[in-house]
Structure formats: structure tokens, C-alpha cells
Structure 1
């Protein structure tokens, strides 16, 4: 059986009639085991068939997929995963840096020196 022939199940939840916007809106759970994600065009066709509407009346938006655990080799993880996820699983170490307050204080000290001759930093303010 090819991927495009496997069945797709649509379950409607939270059906609301919204007369202010002139539409009916719903949350649709899409079940497609053993098959990749379905295109929005195919979803529009299936939903229009379910609700006896024309395809151009259906708008599909806000698709989210459920998270599933994935298995990946450590080399691929180091190449593709963001740094914070590598720290979580123990493949990288968190970089040591000063506390947030110390970094802000250093930034503000540097702001007083900007545009002046950086001799000692004591003459930061101009005298009138």
C-alpha cells in the first residue's frame, strides 16, 4: 500500500458558529498513521466533503503536529540540534559566564566611557 493510499481520519472538536465573522470554525484532529503530513489542499477537499461545502469556502490554518520522541545519532544531534537541547541531554556543557546583574553593570560602565578618551575611565564626565 502506498503512502498516499493509507486512510486519513479527521475528528472535529470545538465546533463554533461565529456569526460576527460569518463563518463556522472548528478544531480538527488529523490522524494519519504510517503516512507523512497531509497537504492543506487535501485537507480542504476532505473537510469540504464532510460539511457539504465547496472547496474554496474552506480555509485551513494553524496546523500543529504532536511532538514525538525521535531517535538520532549523536553526530547528527551535534550538527542539527540547538545548543540548549544538547546541554539538556548531556552532549554539551553550558558556557560559564558572569551573572546577569554583573553583565548589565559592565555594559552600563562601558556606556559612560563611550566617546571619551579611554585613559583611566575616571574622567568620564565632561566638566563645564
Structure 2
């Protein structure tokens, strides 16, 4: 874990998005002579900074500047867990273990895709695609 004294977190382009019930911002992390902060550390530090639970903080898209020492990314802080589960994509929820993505076998996914291609309109929306002869 990085020292708290050597790591500086600055926010830019802060915006309160009432429609999606969240705060969103660009975050600059200055970490000289250190590796990147982990996603968990970023969540903890921003949770303390904005007085919210760490489960409601969603950091993503972090890129390290060439030469190191500085990273920039995007952070969303939701007002409630219901809002986070409603608006956040499933893959980001799965990263924080708030949702599970059940993956079927690759061949099984391809078979259902090809069966759907034979159907028209709303018949494609049905979960159970029956075989047509």
C-alpha cells in the first residue's frame, strides 16, 4: 500500500448528476516513485474524501502518464446502492462483486445467436428459442 503522505488526489470537472443520482468527476492521482494505486485504495480514499461508503464509489478508465508518477481516471459516486445497481453497467458491478455475470459456454452462446437470426421481430426477445426445422 502506498504512503498517504506521498499520494495526492485531485478532482477536476466535478459534476453532480441529479438525474442519475451520482457525483461524477475526473481524478488525478499523483504518486511519485510509486506504482499505481489499486482500485480498492482509490475507492477508500475517495469514500473518505466525499463522505460516502466505499461500495458506492466506482473508479474506472485509469491511465498512467508516460514516465509514471501520475494517473488520471474517472470516478462515479452514487447516492444509494439502488441507484448504483440501476444505472451502473453489469461488468462494473461485477468488478466490485455486487453482481454476478453467468457465462455460458462459447459454443452454446453461438448456437443461440444463430437460432435467433432465423426469427423475426419480438420472437427474438424470448429467452427460450425453439428449434425450427
What's the TM-score once normalised by structure 2's chain length?
A: 0.47
More strand by share: 2
| Higher alpha-carbon Rg | 1
Larger RCO, structures 1/2 (Cα 8 Å, 6+ apart): 2
Q: TM-score, structure 1 length as denominator?
A: 0.49
